[in-house]
Amino acid sequence: HRLLLLNGPNLNLLGTREPEIYGTETLADVERITAEAAASRGFVVRAVQSNHEGVLLDAIHAAREDCDGIVINPAGLTHTSVVLRDALLGVALPVAEVHISDVQQREEFRRHSYVADVAIVHVIGEGVRGYATATERLIDIIAGQAE
């Protein structure tokens, strides 16, 4: 069993990027936290981060071949990207949406997510630990569907 972990633009800067908002843990920490949460339930994780929308779309399309679900923090594309939304709908895999910060409590433009109604799990504002929570919830749903 495999999950795709997708991190969108600027998340490669985690750790040094606006640490008062996103904390000091790095993308490597996020990928390790997610892999550990998945491994405890027998899943492996393919981690992809990109600053390029098309690379994210290609990774979503490829996931259709060999993944059971997608954990995604679309970053700024959350609030702008119809094509990312369409890609997730297109592959029809179960999706968990993660945001490190509480996007409801920040600028108005962060309140709308093009991914929210496509995702079945939402973990928002729990810091990088939210990736573990989202991974566990998504695997619970995947495992439940397999029964």
87: left (phi over 0), alpha (psi -120 to 50) or beta: alpha
**Structure tokens that stand for 123 in this block:** 């973990």
Of 1, 10, 26, 127, which one interacts with ligand DQA (CB under 6 A)? 10
Answer yes or no: 122 catalytic: no
Q: Is 20 exposed, middle or buried (0-12, 13-18, 19+ CB in 10 A)?
A: exposed
In whole angstroms, give the CA distance from residue 52 to residue 13.
14
Closest approach, Cβ 142 to ligand DQA, in A, equals 23
Smallest Cα–Cα separation from 95: which of 120, 115, 112?
120
Q: Which of 34, 49, 73, 135 binds ligand DQA (CB under 6 A)?
A: 73
66 carries a ligand binding annotation = no
Residue 15, Cβ density class (10 Å: 0-12 exposed, 13-18 middle, ≥19 buried): middle
Min dist CB 135 to ligand DQA, Å, is: 15
Kindly state the number of chain residues that form the binding site for ligand DQA, as judged by CB under 6 A.
Answer: 10
Q: Judged by CB under 6 A, which stretch of 44-52, 58-66, 88-96, 98-106 contacts ligand DQA? A: 98-106
50 is in an annotated binding site: no
Q: Which is nearer to ligand DQA, 14 or 38 (CB)?
A: 14
| Residues noted as catalytic | 22, 99
